[in-house]
């Protein structure tokens, strides 16, 4: 599961397993949690979160849904939030892992907009906002319900004709919406439905495994609406 040369590849493997409902062996989960926590000490860590590797920064990694990760800060923010999500899902009780999550909760909480702001659900850009939402969805950070509700209102305001959103990457956003129970999330999936239906009618050729993942996400989203 751990790819010591790439945080992106490691998280992709973990997401692929959890998305398919596969459980990690206890020793495998512990090794993954230990490695992720250790990445917080490396150069390139964003607000104390697990850092991408030098190979990640030098390469062209992608999100689970296929969108490319560009820019050093953006890559560290998105992969860092995804890594913290993984650490929470792994539920490793070790002092080291719990200290990492506590530090991130404090430092990222200070970076997020104040709760009185309507932008409290939006963080720096659309794709980083979605990464923060996915972190929030597993209980990370603070004021989860409030921040997610405000994030959905920001997403609603960013709608484009035809089923997409301005600023927010379509597939990564759909993936996050599928984890949300708020009725507003279903409303946004309904907005995306025409685009998803068109995609399924004629899926573009895309390198594995991203094309197959997008087909599956489209089907899951349409089943929700």
pTM beyond 0.85: yes
Q: What is the pLDDT of residues 26-68, one digit of tens each?
A: 999 999 999 999 999 899 999 999 999 999 999 999 999 999 9
Separation in Å, CA 178 to CA 45, 109, 216? 28, 24, 12
Q: What is the mean pLDDT of the chain?
A: 94
Q: What is the mean pLDDT of residues 151-159?
A: 96
What SS3 state is found at 23? Answer: coil
Q: Any idea what the Cα angle at residue 118 is, between residues 87 and 71, rounded to 5°?
A: 50
Tokens of 215: 């087909």
Contact assessment for residue 83 and residue 39, using Cβ atoms and an 8 Å cutoff: yes
């Amino acid at each position: 599961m751990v790819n010591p040369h790439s945080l992106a590849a490691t998280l992709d493997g973990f997401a692929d397993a959890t998305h398919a409902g596969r459980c990690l062996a206890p020793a495998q989960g512990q090794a993954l949690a230990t490695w992720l926590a250790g990445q917080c000490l490396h150069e390139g860590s964003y607000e104390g979160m697990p850092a991408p590797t030098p190979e990640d920064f030098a390469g062209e990694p992608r999100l689970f849904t296929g969108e490319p990760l560009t820019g050093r800060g953006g890559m560290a923010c998105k992969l860092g939030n995804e890594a913290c999500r993984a650490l929470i899902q792994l539920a490793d009780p070790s002092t080291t892992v719990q200290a990492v999550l506590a530090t991130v909760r404090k430092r990222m909480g200070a970076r997020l907009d104040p709760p009185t702001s309507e932008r409290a659900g939006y963080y720096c850009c659309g794709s980083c906002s979605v990464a923060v939402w996915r972190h929030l969805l597993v209980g990370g950070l603070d004021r989860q319900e409030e921040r997610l509700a405000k994030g959905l209102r920001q997403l609603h305001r960013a709608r484009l004709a035809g089923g997409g959103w301005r600023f927010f990457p379509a597939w990564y956003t759909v993936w996050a919406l599928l984890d949300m129970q708020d009725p507003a999330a279903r409303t946004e999936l309904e907005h995306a439905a025409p685009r998803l239906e068109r995609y399924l009618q004629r899926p573009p050729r895309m390198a594995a495994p991203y094309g197959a993942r997008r087909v599956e996400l489209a089907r899951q989203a349409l089943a929700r609406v």
